Amino acid sequence: MAMGSDMVPVELCKGINGLDKIVLRESGGSSAEVYLYGGQVTSWKNDHGEELLFVSSKAIFKPPKAIRGGIPICFPQFASHGGLESHGFARNRIWSIDSDPPSFPTVSSSKVFIDLILKPTEEDMKIWPHSFEFRLRVALGPGGDLMLTSRIRNTSADGKPFSFTFAYHTYFSVSDISEVRVEGLETLDYLDNLQNKERFTEQGDAITFESEIDKIYLSTPTKIAILDHEKKRTFVLRKDGLPDAVVWNPWDKKAKAMADFGDDEYKHMLCVEAAAVEKPITLKPGEEWRGRLELSAVPSSYCSGQLDPQKVLLSS
Ligand code: TA6
């Protein structure tokens, strides 16, 4: 019996505007899509086929514009923390499939994954004169968890170290931003991008949303919970090698100012980004850094006590 394409675990095919994309399908029914353009995940669906990530209806799938949504990779610079274009250049480069990746550091339960690789072009070397190999594995776990593992190696032959900042700029799809809570960032220090990156301390309760937010939380726990009451869903974000977390929602005014973002779409998205911003990562030649993100979407109802985020945050 021929296997329908909807059963192929890893499939290379054409996406929007003919851009190459990889579709990952897990036997339990969850799926994910990754574009070679930007090495960017643009879809993650649970085993009911429900989309868990936000991609703007006005997103532009055409280089050099970055795709507005999913999980853009910010490298070698987060936002304006340096002299390069905002969020660096990895998100608007064409990545390749890594046919011969070095063995993976950890035993992974996931059988459904793709390995991508990015190396600098001559043009890149003119704006950021450093040789590197950026390997990205995107994997779907048996339970539908989405895992992204970045391995960045300094391959310079000139003996020079380089430093970079980094973020998985994840756009979560939410039912109603005013009904969403983020747990795990209480009482932490943060840099407020809306106040010249001034440093403040967060109050003691869960974070809720009633206006534009653009904060870089410093030295956060490795686990953060995003509760979407209306959808009775909790996103659990686990991170490794990424000490900071950025929380962003443009709200109404910034939404109107972005051509690739719908005026009301701010109500249905929230960016919570595993990041390394405060302390840039420095690699000597031959050294490799690893940054891992694991996303789970669990049915929840905070008020019913079925799933108390504190229990989530404290559990393994
Ligand atoms: O991650 C938050 C942030 O740095 C915001 O300041 C905002 O600019 C957002 O990223 C989107 O940036 P982009 O370059 O994709 O428009």
What residue spans define the domains of the chain? 10-99+108-299
Q: What pLDDT, on a 0 to 100 scale, did the predictor assign at position 108? A: 61
Please report, in tens digits, the pLDDT of each residue of the chain (316 residues total).
Answer: 445 566 789 999 999 999 999 999 999 999 999 999 999 999 999 999 999 999 999 999 999 999 999 999 999 999 999 999 999 999 999 999 999 898 876 556 677 999 999 999 999 999 999 999 999 999 999 999 999 999 999 999 999 999 999 999 999 999 999 999 999 999 999 999 999 999 999 988 999 999 999 999 999 999 999 999 999 999 999 999 999 999 999 999 999 999 999 999 999 999 999 999 999 999 999 999 999 999 999 987 544 444 454 555 555 5
Side-chain-side CA neighbours of 222 within 13 Å: the count stands at 11
Give the position of tokens 């994309």.
21
Catalytic residue among 183, 265, 273, 294: 273
Ligand 1 centroid – CA 82 distance (Å): 14
Which SS3 state, helix, strand or coil, does residue 252 take? helix
Which SS3 state, helix, strand or coil, does residue 311 take? helix
Q: Which atom of ligand 1 is nearest to the CA of 246?
A: 1
Closest CA to 13 of 79, 97, 90, 100: 97
Note the residue count of the chain.
Answer: 316
Pocket of ligand 1 (CB under 6 A): 66, 79, 86-87, 169, 193, 214, 246, 248, 271, 273
Q: What pLDDT, on a 0 to 100 scale, did the predictor assign at position 4? A: 56
85 as an active site residue: the answer is no
Contact status, residue 80 vs residue 167, Cβ threshold 8 Å:
no
Q: Which atom of ligand 1 is nearest to the CA of 250?
A: 7
Alpha helices, DSSP H only, in 61-160? 122-127
CA 114 to chain centre: 16
CA–CA gap between residue 1 and residue 282 (Å, rounded): 52
CATH 1.10.10.350 fits domain 10-99+108-299: no
Q: Whole-prediction pTM value?
A: 0.95
Tokens of 90: 């990895």
CA–CA gap between residue 27 and residue 311 (Å, rounded): 29
CA–CA gap between residue 293 and residue 144 (Å, rounded): 14
Q: What pLDDT, on a 0 to 100 scale, did the predictor assign at position 306? A: 47
Contact status, residue 139 vs residue 110, Cβ threshold 8 Å:
yes
273 as an active site residue: the answer is yes
Burial class (CB in 10 A: 0-12, 13-18, 19+), 58: middle
For ligand 1, pick from 77, 86, 91, 168 the residue to mutate: most ligand atoms within 8 Å of CB: 86
For ligand 1, pick from 214, 215, 266 the residue to mutate: most ligand atoms within 8 Å of CB: 214
